[in-house]
Structure 1
Amino acid sequence: MKLLTALALTLTCALANAGTLDSPEGPVILTVSGAIENTNGDGVAQFDKAMLEELQQRTTETTTPWHEGVVKFEGPLGRALLDAVGAKGENMEVTAINDYASNVPVADFYDHEVILALKADGKYMRVRDKGPLFIIYPFDENPDLKSEVIHNRSVWQIKSIDIQ
């Protein structure tokens, strides 16, 4: 009997640690899959714009190789997204709408103030403007981030992230 009680308690605790996210009410713009604990679909976490805006936000004003001058980017912190889904991996495969994919270390989102930019200069980014989501590192805050490796991790038109 004690064994059954202990097993039931262990299972209950495991289920309590895994969470369910709210379901998106608007169009899904990001799907997170892989090694995650919190879902709202069949093993995935789907986010609409409103859900992403509920995460901790940051504004980053920086130059990029893809824009003229300083641009003011706004969006959720990458680490806030990882925390929301209960990410348990060390790497992410970030895929764009055109199926371009880049491997991004999870550590980048914790070591730097990386955002998933929804807005550029106060306007939501459309697909033609590299939206709806664009990984933005704080390039001007840390000169070491101005490298080809980091630029290749700065995926735009993101549609999915697979935590590995």
Structure 2
Amino acid sequence: MTPRSNRRHWLTTFAGLGLASAGTWATRTAWAAPAAPAGRVILSITGQVGKPNAGAQADFDMDMIAALKQVSFTTTTPWHQGARRFTGPLLRDVLAEAGARGTTVRAIALNDYKVDVPFEDAQTHELILARLLDGKPMTVREKGPLFLVYPYDSDPELKSQRYYNRSAWQLRRLEVV
């Protein structure tokens, strides 16, 4: 294959993958870091981050969080009246976006509340970083802008103090250890 036909072969391959050119390949692969946030940073992931975009950490603005696949569920919590609908990306997807690997995710809130969540919880439960409550963005007063929440009503095991304690509202940072 000549260099010119080799290039044409790869461009055809990229086009077959839905990629316009070899230059877009990096943005579609698992090893590419998330783009740097354009807006105000609302979440930083530190520690064992494989795809940093701000020094050694991965920072996200709300648009970046909203651009990830969104999941919704309705559940009751000890902090709300009645069942409420939460929407946001799965924690495992956010961690994957940052290339995070570890055994524990320490969730840290705006008021410095800290709780350790087993990394495995993100893999085995539909644990989300809720950004919407009943379809509306959450203010700090409403436990936002991000709330790490389990789908408590989906499994009797989750309706326990253990999982309630692992929830963190007004989430600001995740440390992966």
Q: Smaller-chain TM-score range?
A: 0.7 to 0.9
Please give the per-residue CA displacement for 1:122-141, whole angstroms capped at 9, x wherever unaligned: 11000000001001101111
- TM-score, normalised to structure 2's length? 0.82
Q: What is the deviation of 1:149?
A: 1.1
Match of 2:70 among 44, 47, 57: 57
Q: Are 1:19 and 1:37, in contact at CA under 8 Å, matched by a contact in 2?
A: no
Deviation at 1:17, TM superposition (A): 7.2
Measure the CA separation in 2 of the matches of 1:26 and 1:19.
20
Report the counterpart of residue 34 of structure 2 in structure 1: 21
Pick aligned residue for 1:144 from 135, 157, 168: 157
Q: Can you give the 5+ residue segments of structure 1 that lack an aligned partner in the other structure?
A: 1-15
Measured in 2, the distance between the counterparts of 1:81 and 1:150 equals 20
1:108-119 matches, cutoff 5 A: 108-119=121-132
For the residue of structure 2 that corresponds to 1:26, the secondary structure is: coil
Structure 2 residue aligned with 1:12: none
Distance 1:95 1:20 in 2: 22
Aligned counterpart, 1:37: 50
The residue aligned with 1:10 is: none
Residue of structure 1 equivalent to 2:98: 85
Identity across the alignment (%): 43
Of residues 99, 114, 119 in structure 2, which corresponds to 1:101?
Answer: 114
Which string of whole-angstrom CA distances, capped at 9 and with x for unpartnered residues, describes residues 6-58 of structure 1?
Answer: xxxxxxxxxx9753220111111000010010111110000001100111210
CA distance in 2, matches of 1:55, 1:112: 18
Equivalent AA in structure 1 for residue 137 of structure 2: Y
CA–CA separation in structure 2 for the residues paired with 1:78 and 1:88: 12
Query: Whole-Å Cα distance in 1 between the matches of residues 30 and 63 of structure 2?
Result: 24
Distance 2:150 2:71 in 1: 11
RMSD: 1.2
Aligned length: 149
Structure 2 unaligned blocks of 5 or more: 1-28
Larger Rg: 2
Deviations 1:41-90 (A, max 9, x none): 11000000110011121001000000000101000111100111111101
Q: TM-score, normalised by structure 1?
A: 0.88
* Residue identity matched to 2:58: A
Q: Given that residues 125 and 131 in structure 1 are in contact (C-alpha distance below 8 angstroms), is that contact kept between their aligned partners in structure 2? A: yes
Contact 1:114 1:135 in 2 (8 A): yes
